[in-house]
Structure 1
Amino acid sequence: MAKIILIFASMSGNTEMMAHAVADGVTANSEKIEVIDIMDGLEVTDLEGFDGILLGAYTWGDGELPDDFLDFYDDLDSMNLAGIKAAVFGSCDSAYPHYGAAVDILMEKLTERGAEVYPLGLKIELTPDEKEEEACRTFGNEFVSFLKSPCL
């Protein structure tokens, strides 16, 4: 059984809703997942020993990571994530010029650190409705399949 961690930041609860739906998609495949709010004091070294990493973050302002994620993001520079599979999701707001930039920023950082990143980051406009929550569960399910596939 793979060891999977999901780390999220949520200000309004939208990304938290997504995180729980993604986790439901993972557990539907009989996989266990550890879900952590980044505000709970996570260190990047806590990623060691995991086979799969899921990151969820909302986009702040004109296309930035939320403040909650900044230290974690910077600390990722000390990690070698080769052999780890990862995926990113987040709530977005189309009122801003860079739609879902946090998803793109995190995908780029994970790739830079050597992780094999699921190529489709999931972006949901604001609060997920029932259909979008199902898309989050599907995303979690697809991540498990991606995790079990041979490395590229």
Structure 2
Amino acid sequence: MRKILVLCSSCTGNTEMMAKAIVYYIQKQKHHVVYKSFEFDVIEVEELLDYDLVLIGTHSADDGQIPYEAEDFYDELSEVDLEGRLMGVFGSGESFYDVFCESIEIMGDQLEHLGAKLVPERLKVELEPDNEDIIRCEVFAEKACAMIHKVL
């Protein structure tokens, strides 16, 4: 059984719905999964090193910057060695804005810059996930779990 951490920032509940679909899939695969919310839980970047896989969900609005509640976490990422760590990014946004789901790109770029190995897809959903999007979340989780089995 592998240890997986799912972190989430969700303003409207859309990214949280994605995270819960991902968590549910991972639990069905018999992995130990911990879910934490940037809004309600204390999240220390050092915790990332305790897990075989870390998946980070953020919402995007306005100019697409990292959500306020995840800013400190983002800024502190460079304080830990993420070289070779398995990670993934996902989230929701609205194409009404100039850049769609930019916070997912910003987070993913930072993780890659720090040497993390990312799930190939940066999963993005327009507003509230529908049934097709939930299936995409499950496929994302499946790919993430497959990465663990290849590496470990």
> How would you bin the TM-score normalised by the shorter chain?
over 0.9
Q: CA deviation at 1:26?
A: 1.4
| CA contact 2:119–2:143 (8 Å) conserved in 1 | no
| CA contact 2:61–2:94 (8 Å) conserved in 1 | no
Taking the aligned partners of 1:103 and 1:149, their CA distance within structure 2 comes to: 25
| CA contact 1:4–1:32 (8 Å) conserved in 2 | yes
* Runs of at least 5 residues in structure 2 that lack an aligned partner in the other structure: none
Residue aligning to 1:58:
59
Identity %: 32
Give the 3-state SS of the residue equivalent to 2:151 in structure 1: coil
| CA contact 2:121–2:140 (8 Å) conserved in 1 | no
Q: CA deviation at 1:117?
A: 0.8
Displacement over 4 Å in runs of 4+? none
When normalised by structure 2's length, the TM-score is 0.94
Q: CA deviation at 1:24?
A: 1.4
Instruction: Tell me which amino acid in the other structure corresponds to 1:76.
Output: L
User: How many residues are paired up?
Assistant: 151
Instruction: Tell me which amino acid in the other structure corresponds to 1:4.
Output: I
1:86-105 counterparts in 2 under 5 A? 86-105=87-106
| CA contact 1:92–1:99 (8 Å) conserved in 2 | yes
Taking the aligned partners of 1:139 and 1:105, their CA distance within structure 2 comes to: 19
1:2-151 counterparts in 2 under 5 A? 2-39=2-39, 40-150=41-151
Instruction: Tell me which amino acid in the other structure corresponds to 2:64.
Output: G
Q: CA deviation at 1:83?
A: 2.8
Structure 1 residues 92-150: Cα deviation after superposition (integer angstroms, max 9, x where no partner): 10001111111111111111111111121100000001121121122112210122213
Q: CA deviation at 1:82?
A: 1.6
When normalised by structure 1's length, the TM-score is 0.94
RMSD over aligned CA atoms reads: 1.3
| CA contact 1:27–1:33 (8 Å) conserved in 2 | yes
Give the 3-state SS of the residue equivalent to 2:54 in structure 1: strand
Structure 1 stretch 87-96 or stretch 46-55: which is displaced more? 46-55
* Runs of at least 5 residues in structure 1 that lack an aligned partner in the other structure: none
Structure 1 stretch 88-97 or stretch 21-30: which is displaced more? 21-30
Taking the aligned partners of 2:15 and 2:58, their CA distance within structure 1 comes to: 6
